[in-house]
Structure 1
Amino acid sequence: MLLPDNPISGPDGDRFGFGTHAKVLCDSITTAEGLPLTIGVFGPWGMGKSSFMKVCEGLLKERGVRTVWFNPWKYDQKDEIWHALIQTVLTEIAVDLDRRREAGEETRQERLSAALDTVKRLSRAAAWLLARRAAGPLTAGFLAAEDVDAVQSALTAPGAETYLHVNRFEQDFREVVDIYSDGGRLVLFVDDLDRCHEEAAITVLDSLKLFLGEGSCVFVLAMDYQVVAEAAAKRFDREGTDGARGRQYLEKLIHFPFHLPGIPFELLYQQLSSEVTDPAVGASRELWELIEVAFAANPRRVRRFINGLNHTVRTLQQHDGRPGSDRLLHAGVLLAFQIKFPDFFSALQNDPGVWTRFDDAEFTKSDLGGRDGELAARNPGVRRLIAAVSSRRTGFSFPPPPTASVLRLLTEVLTVTGGGLTGEGDAHAG
């Protein structure tokens, strides 16, 4: 069985205890004054930011609040992404306005029709700017054709003022949102900013200010703070410093930082222990100790690990029937190496004795020298993992490191069926 990695669809699918935190945040969203307001939902890769925002979206819809969802990572180019953002919002509004106009009373039809006409005009203006390939987000929609080249040159010059021409578009959008939300607010969820190309991520943030900064909107942005701050630092400080410029940029943009609450590891165990192909191993304390030390309570990483382990178990069953628990635990540890420390995993393939030497060094609390020392330095954290799964550790029943023949078999199988794609340092990508 392959475990999917899709975000939950709403409050009814909440399995990780997000509901209470989401309700408090939604209370703040629905009562906030002085809009627009920008909320940053911060959390590392794989920790459930999308699921949390889906819970929030569902709760807001239950309260009659208008919402729009946008995934910027689908668009690579700078001009594509700001245009896609605007058109996504406008399309959602247009479809709903048209539906409400057809079903509404005559007294409301005229107002809804006027708002729909404004939406269409805004959409045409954005399309015109895209066709002109205007450099950077522009908001006027009324530039004369002969001004385009001059504007492009001005906006691409170092230090140029990018808030030129921010007038009519913002005013029209504000009026549309007021009608669309019945005098309330529109909540725009922007997901996966940290999956975007650096320039694209910052373009999304700029576009929110430039195009939509006057509407009664709440922008809820999901991101890994460090990833986006580094992208902003590169954008605004080409020479490179300590990243302070990037942090300052986000601090000015984000009015309320919300740090995603951690998921109790016990909840992950309850949800996923039955998904392990071998029930005995799936229920073992050793396997879940390995998972907790290697991946903490990160749902995405744990699912990826279990998928790889299940494939490995099935492959081993083709080799020698039902493999024993020691072999499956060896396979699990090696899979954790492959996912978190691919360099160490490769070293094991060439030198099966590496695991034993590292295990001995942890037991005697001694330093590693030569190539082993270099390998340990390149893989910070690997010694901690080896110590956690050592057969010498009290309270658990981990097997000793595998023999060279067993290790070669398992690494051969894992090379085909394992769950490793990137090292831990690249975990935020994709």
Structure 2
Amino acid sequence: MDTKKQSKETGIDAALETPECDSLDRAVFAERIFKIIDGTSQDTKMTIGIYGAWGSGKTTVMNFIKYCCKEAGHPVAVYNPWQFHNRENAWKGFVSSVDKGIAQWQEKKIGTLKRQDAVKKASAKVREVTEITTVGKVIGDLVLKPLEGLLEQTKHKVQEELDKILDDKRLFVFIDDLDRAEPDILYDHLMLLNEIVDLNRCVYIIGLDTEVASQIIENKTGIKEGKKFLEKIINWHFNLPEPTDFDWQEFFEREIEKADSNVKKESLRAIFVCLPRNPRKLKYFLRYIEGLHKSFLSRFGDDELDWKVLYLILLLNFEAPKTLKKISAYKHLVSDLETYLFAGEEKTADGQLTAWQKTLREISEKEAEQTPERVELIYRELRNAIELELKKEIKEYFLILENPELLTWKEYAALKQRLRLLEREKIKNELTNFINDSNNKKHIERVREFLKKLFEERHNLLMLERDVEIDEERTPIFDEAMFLLDICFASIEIEGLFQGNNPIFNDKVFESWYKSLAKWFKYKSTPQDELIRGREIELLNALASKLKRQALPILSVIYNHSHASDPDLRNELREFRQIYKDAQDELETALAEQILDKFREPEGIVILTSKYNKPIASFLFSEHPAFHNEKIFCRLKKLACEAKSDIRIQKNFIAYVKKLFYEAVDKKELFPISEATVKLLKKQDFLDVLWSAVTVNPLTRLTIYSLEEQRQKVIREVLDNDETRLSVPSWWFELLGDWKDKIGHNPQFKI
């Protein structure tokens, strides 16, 4: 039988019907089982178990045994109990399957089975069943008569009927996917086989996942060992053998040859060691990949992505989607994927697991989608697959899954070509249409990807220019670089990029521009380079005024990259900050104003300081000139005065002072005392403003307790035991009561 033909006719999940397409030696296994059965006495009654996990090929083996049965002339009945959701219908289905199998063997015309059910109010259920064959009729009676106390008499009739029509043959009844049936149905059918239809000359062949079936039995009966229960019912069981590496490779090759031509088959071959060694799971994964290519991956060029990397991420998403989501959210795991070639495999304190292994194990155990070993295997292969120069950052591969509408290079090139034919003002109009269309379709990542690609292409052009030896060859490269800058200037003139709570031009887009500009700002080997560098600085300065509303996340990018782990990148960015100083000053001034505005918002300072952030730490806990200057100080004093009538402002000053005191004195248990914070607290005019706002209205006793402990620590360790520098109103000690002496006389006293 042609493999592709069978796949189309029966679907991707279809088990093989005949041995011609067998790649895993299931036919040999099935034939061996049939010969064992066939070698027993014809009068033997038996129940055979074919054991294997979901998707491992139980149905295929049963089909091959069925094929052997038919070749030998035995009647075959096929029954799938998982199709039924209650006992009555399941039993009807069993009788119907046996009846149909006998009828086909006798070459009788198969008609529609007619059944009528009625329930006697007194006790038992009575069923009137009209079957095609006499065997079907008596088996129907056999299933139902136990309710009427006539079991043995009915069994005798069934046996007589079977002996009469079977001659030298046996009836083979195949019961597949019993473990997928409702729990009550699974249990009832096992009991049915054991106590009711245990007939001579009948062979029942059952496909089971023993782990699942045992658990159902344990839950149903309370028996602790469900497998022992199965052993009492199933006479012989055969575990599906693991395919050899050679057989598995052959099966894999057969399957990928069926895949769509867009699928990158060499990339799949490269991750063969990680692919699921389960026939059904492998088929599902390959069809999953095929479906993604047909839906959106076909938009990406062959050289646009590292397909091996993407396929490994897709494999992890296919098997453990919640685990993958956690991995992509863990910054240090993403960093490990990007830098491990340089960072090495640092051991954890226990000396057994690497840092990434330990984190990965915690995630996979918590999500419980896959075994930690399986997740680690895929992750390790992903680490090994990431080359020195990825075609995209690893974060962008995660983004492809979350946002399939991402702009591809092909689409980017088409849009850029349209822009090339337009005048400057019309370029802005075309970009505006592109942005609005993407917004309407909720595809804002397309716009972000376009903005990032402008600088990716710029980087590629500059790399090309650096290697050019003839000046004439530089001219088209220079012209293209200037054209890209024109698009960038036109883009940032569009206000829609910077509006809303989730602006399109966000810190991620800024980061891609900023790093690229910093990398090349020193490259000025020709007058054209000087001109380009000047335009780039103009672009950043123009951009700064647009990004004031996002001052905190944008400054976080700038500050974080000034402390990058790569020393070369760190030095580049620090030097670049000097060039970019005017733009940065503008953003820092905006952030200072925004921090002051937070004092008027409920929990504003609490929220602002809840997570460590370099700009916030620099502004609030050290003497950063953007926040600690005359203009901001005057506004801070005005806010302190308003605290008398605005309880929100007073609460925010309390939150700020508590955090400031903690940074100065309590953190020393874990870190050295922050000299910058201590120095700030010694500025008496600044401290007076803060403390006046804290004590402007009476506080709750609990708040006073916590502040008094910190106050006394600051007085001792920062203010040279000068209590007048943090004096308190009379109501303070009245509310504090006798706790004052306990705190004052015991430096270690804790509230």
Instruction: Please state which band the TM-score falls in when normalised by the shorter chain.
Output: 0.7 to 0.9
Q: Which amino acid aligns with 2:355?
A: D
**Aligned match of 1:10:** 18
- Give the 5 Å matches for 1:162-311: 165-237=150-222, 243-244=224-225, 246-263=226-243, 264-277=247-260, 281-284=264-267, 287-288=268-269, 290-296=271-277, 298-311=278-291
Of 141, 145, 154, 1:125 maps to 141
Q: Which amino acid aligns with 1:226?
A: E
**Aligned match of 2:145:** 139
Describe the shift of the 1:178–1:15 C-alpha distance in structure 2 as closer, same or farther (beyond 3 A): farther
Q: Secondary structure at the match of 1:68?
A: strand
CA distance in structure 2 between the partners assigned to 1:220 and 1:271 by the alignment: 29
TM-score normalised by L of structure 1: 0.73
**Aligned match of 1:410:** 401
User: How far did 1:66 drift?
Assistant: 1.6
CA distance in structure 2 between the partners assigned to 1:233 and 1:362 by the alignment: 48
**Aligned match of 1:158:** none
CA distance in structure 1 between the partners assigned to 2:402 and 2:344 by the alignment: 23
Greater alpha carbon shift after TM alignment, 68-77 vs 83-92: 83-92
CA distance in structure 2 between the partners assigned to 1:261 and 1:339 by the alignment: 25
Structure 2 residue 68 is matched with structure 1 residue 77 = no
Contact in 2 for aligned 1:40/1:254 (Cα 8 Å): yes
**Aligned match of 1:425:** none
Contact in 2 for aligned 1:312/1:414 (Cα 8 Å): no
Q: Which amino acid aligns with 2:273?
A: E
User: How far did 1:204 drift?
Assistant: 1.7
**Aligned match of 1:426:** none
Structure 2 residue 281 is matched with structure 1 residue 340 = no
Q: Secondary structure at the match of 2:151?
A: coil
**Aligned match of 1:423:** none
Contact in 2 for aligned 1:391/1:397 (Cα 8 Å): no
CA distance in structure 1 between the partners assigned to 2:48 and 2:390 by the alignment: 48
CA distance in structure 2 between the partners assigned to 1:274 and 1:374 by the alignment: 38
User: How far did 1:373 drift?
Assistant: 6.4
User: How far did 1:291 drift?
Assistant: 4.3
User: How far did 1:41 drift?
Assistant: 0.4
Describe the shift of the 1:289–1:207 C-alpha distance in structure 2 as closer, same or farther (beyond 3 A): farther
Of 366, 380, 391, 1:387 maps to 380
**Aligned match of 1:44:** 53
Q: Secondary structure at the match of 1:410?
A: helix
Structure 2 residue 32 is matched with structure 1 residue 53 = no
CA distance in structure 2 between the partners assigned to 1:13 and 1:185 by the alignment: 28
Describe the shift of the 1:318–1:257 C-alpha distance in structure 2 as closer, same or farther (beyond 3 A): closer
Q: Secondary structure at the match of 1:295?
A: coil
CA distance in structure 2 between the partners assigned to 1:17 and 1:357 by the alignment: 42
User: How far did 1:312 drift?
Assistant: 2.4
TM-score normalised by L of structure 2: 0.43
User: How far did 1:189 drift?
Assistant: 0.8
Q: Over residues 360-396 of structure 1, what are the superposed CA-to-partner deviations in whole Å (9 max), with x where a residue is unaligned?
A: 4994352359976642432523223211232279xx9
CA distance in structure 2 between the partners assigned to 1:94 and 1:232 by the alignment: 34
Describe the shift of the 1:122–1:280 C-alpha distance in structure 2 as closer, same or farther (beyond 3 A): closer
User: How far did 1:71 drift?
Assistant: 0.9
Q: Which amino acid aligns with 1:281?
A: K
**Aligned match of 2:363:** 375
Of 346, 369, 372, 1:364 maps to 346
Greater alpha carbon shift after TM alignment, 54-63 vs 205-214: 205-214
Q: Which amino acid aligns with 2:40?
A: A
Q: Which amino acid aligns with 1:311?
A: G
Q: Over residues 340-366 of structure 1, what are the superposed CA-to-partner deviations in whole Å (9 max), with x where a residue is unaligned?
A: 212122224545763443784994352
Q: Which amino acid aligns with 1:412?
A: N
Q: Which amino acid aligns with 1:299?
A: P
- Structure 2, unmatched stretches of 5+, are 1-6, 110-130, 348-353, 407-751
Describe the shift of the 1:414–1:168 C-alpha distance in structure 2 as closer, same or farther (beyond 3 A): farther
Aligned residues: 359
**Aligned match of 1:159:** none
Contact in 1 for aligned 2:263/2:290 (Cα 8 Å): no
Q: Secondary structure at the match of 1:167?
A: helix
Q: Which amino acid aligns with 2:363?
A: L
Q: Which has the higher helix share?
A: 2
- Structure 1, unmatched stretches of 5+, are 101-114, 127-136, 144-163, 416-430
Q: Which amino acid aligns with 1:29?
A: I
Contact in 2 for aligned 1:337/1:345 (Cα 8 Å): yes
CA distance in structure 2 between the partners assigned to 1:81 and 1:44 by the alignment: 23
User: How far did 1:45 drift?
Assistant: 0.8
Describe the shift of the 1:204–1:315 C-alpha distance in structure 2 as closer, same or farther (beyond 3 A): same
User: How far did 1:398 drift?
Assistant: 11
Contact in 2 for aligned 1:191/1:221 (Cα 8 Å): yes
Greater alpha carbon shift after TM alignment, 261-270 vs 73-82: 261-270
Q: Which gives a bigger RCO, structure 1 or 2 (Cα 8 Å, sep 6+)? A: 1
Q: Secondary structure at the match of 2:355?
A: coil
User: How far did 1:266 drift?
Assistant: 1.3
Contact in 1 for aligned 2:51/2:207 (Cα 8 Å): yes
User: How far did 1:8 drift?
Assistant: 1.1
Q: Which amino acid aligns with 1:90?
A: D
Contact in 1 for aligned 2:304/2:391 (Cα 8 Å): no
**Aligned match of 1:148:** none
CA distance in structure 1 between the partners assigned to 2:93 and 2:17 by the alignment: 23
CA distance in structure 1 between the partners assigned to 2:193 and 2:405 by the alignment: 45
Q: Which amino acid aligns with 1:266?
A: Q
Structure 2 residue 5 is matched with structure 1 residue 23 = no
Contact in 1 for aligned 2:357/2:376 (Cα 8 Å): no
Describe the shift of the 1:53–1:341 C-alpha distance in structure 2 as closer, same or farther (beyond 3 A): same
User: How far did 1:324 drift?
Assistant: 4.1
CA distance in structure 1 between the partners assigned to 2:388 and 2:239 by the alignment: 37
CA distance in structure 1 between the partners assigned to 2:358 and 2:36 by the alignment: 57
Describe the shift of the 1:402–1:352 C-alpha distance in structure 2 as closer, same or farther (beyond 3 A): farther
Contact in 1 for aligned 2:262/2:293 (Cα 8 Å): no
Of 296, 299, 322, 2:302 maps to 322
Describe the shift of the 1:205–1:280 C-alpha distance in structure 2 as closer, same or farther (beyond 3 A): closer
Contact in 2 for aligned 1:329/1:398 (Cα 8 Å): no
Describe the shift of the 1:118–1:397 C-alpha distance in structure 2 as closer, same or farther (beyond 3 A): farther
Q: Secondary structure at the match of 1:364?
A: coil
Q: Secondary structure at the match of 1:257?
A: strand
Greater alpha carbon shift after TM alignment, 272-281 vs 381-390: 272-281
Q: Which amino acid aligns with 1:375?
A: I
